[in-house]
Amino acid sequence: MATGKPAEKYCLGIESTADDFGVGIATFNGEILASVTDGYVPETGGIHPREAARHHAEVADKVLTEAIAKAQLKPSELSVVAFAQGPGLGPCLRSGATVARALSAYLNIPLVGVNHSIGHIEIGKLQTGAKDPLTLYASGGNTMVTAYASGRYRIFGETLDIALGNCLDVFAREAGLKNRKGMPLGAAVEQLAAKGEKLVALPYVVKGMDMSISGLLTAAIAALQKGERLEDVCFSLQENAFSMVTEVTERALAHTEKKEVLLTGGVAANKRLQKMLGIISADHDAKFSVVPQKFATDNGAMIAWTGVLAYMSGLMTPVDESFVKVRWRVDKVDVPWVKLP
């Protein structure tokens, strides 16, 4: 850890853990001046890490320029550059890290490596005003229930296999739905689910505060192949998967007795999931908030803001320690900026 020049005003954050390349700019006071994202859309199938990384390298220049212009800044006015150091897909992470290192060297400003999952939690807290929430972070790569305790975000519950968003995406692709810009596969499933009427019996697997989702995905695909209506299977898949994750969240809520619940990550955009979590929060007298849609999916602003928090706590990442961390669990990261008893 090196000491840098005193804090100026702006942090630029780079997000490239999966299919999105995002650049955000945050002031040290928590104002988001810009958040620009360019997503990689595969022709078929899921994210091919190398193809996504190539996309990121191609759009980096354009996205950076646009974000800096939107914030009405000159590059020389930036004081810190933050990047998502992990967890995520190796090639994608490396393309973002390369851009960040280059910027840091060129502008001669400190580099801060940020944990992507903590970025989702911190942007949620910033945008909703939550102080000490129990957080459900659900996305294509992650599904976990976390809360702060003694210096770190602890994981109270998580998926034992695949992530919630991954389950919805893979199901959608198996059902022949197409990935389009501005319309994530999860949103397509949500729309179809709203037209579902019949609850098809599917597995419901809660193990303590953890859950297993892969069997549910397999069973949903099988139900579709057996001739159940697509709308009904979407409906049943959502109801089962969200009930499981809600039950797990409620268990963690009863256990931790937190007074706030925060929903963050890409799946946070789903209205049905929001409704379910709203119900359990009310049952336990906890205030429920959802990250705003534009900060739900992966974005650079969350990295910029978490970079600010880390930098202000004196955390910086020398270049020789800036290797990407493909598997970097939330509960391995110290968060000295969280000031709670």
Partner 1 sequence: MSAVLLKKGAEASLFIADWQGRRVVIKQRLPKTYRPPQLDLTIRRYRTIHEPQLMHEAKRAGVPTPLIYLVDVENASITMEYIEGIQVKKLVDSICEADRAELCQGIGEEVGKLHVHGIVHGDLTTSNMILNQEGRVFLVDFGLGERSEELEAQGVDLHLLRHALQSTHFRVAEECFHAVLEGYTAVVGAHRMQEVLGKIREIEKRGRYVAERQQET
Is 313 among the residues that bind partner 1 (CB under 8 A)?
no
Other Cβ atoms closer than 10 A to 231 = 16
260 is a site residue for partner 1 (CB under 8 A): no
Q: Which is nearer to partner 1, 12 or 92 (CB)?
A: 92
Q: Does 204 bind partner 1 (CB under 8 A)?
A: yes
Q: Does 250 bind partner 1 (CB under 8 A)?
A: yes
Question: Which run of H or of E encompasses 118?
Answer: helix 116-128
**Number of residues binding to partner 1, judged by CB under 8 A:** 47
Binding window for partner 1 (CB under 8 A); candidates: 39-47, 76-84, 135-143, 311-319: 135-143
- State the nearest-atom distance from the C-beta of 153 to partner 1, in Å: 10
255 near partner 1, judged by CB under 8 A = yes
Q: Does 154 bind partner 1 (CB under 8 A)?
A: yes
Binding segment (CB under 8 A) for partner 1, from list 18-26, 43-51, 157-165, 172-180: 157-165
The two counts, helices (H) then strands (E), for the chain are 9, 12
Minimum CB distance to partner 1 smaller for 70 or for 255: 255
Using rule CB under 8 A, residue 319 touches partner 1: no
- CA distances to 27, 53, 93, 141, 325 from 89, rounded to whole Å, are 28, 9, 6, 10, 9
Rounded CA separation 296/274 (Å): 12
DSSP 37: E
Provide the residue type at 218 as one letter.
T
Cross-strand pairs, 9: none
DSSP characters over 181-218? TTB-HHHHHHHHHTT----------EETTEE--HHHHH
Query: SS3 of 97, please?
Result: helix
By CB under 8 A, is residue 275 in contact with partner 1? yes
Site string for partner 1, 276-295 (x = CB under 8 A): xx-xx---x-----------
Q: Rounded to whole angstroms, what are the CA distances from 302 to 83, 161, 308, 322? A: 10, 26, 10, 19
55-63, 182-190, 201-209, 226-234 -> range binding partner 1 (CB under 8 A)? 201-209
Tell which one of 163, 172, 193, 290 touches partner 1 (CB under 8 A). 163
Strand order in the sheet with 287-290: 152-158, 143-149, 134-138, 260-264, 287-290
Give me the residues that bind partner 1 (CB under 8 A), please: 86-87, 141-144, 149-150, 152, 154-156, 158-161, 163, 199, 204, 206-210, 239-240, 243, 246-247, 250-255, 275-277, 279-280, 284, 326-329, 331-332
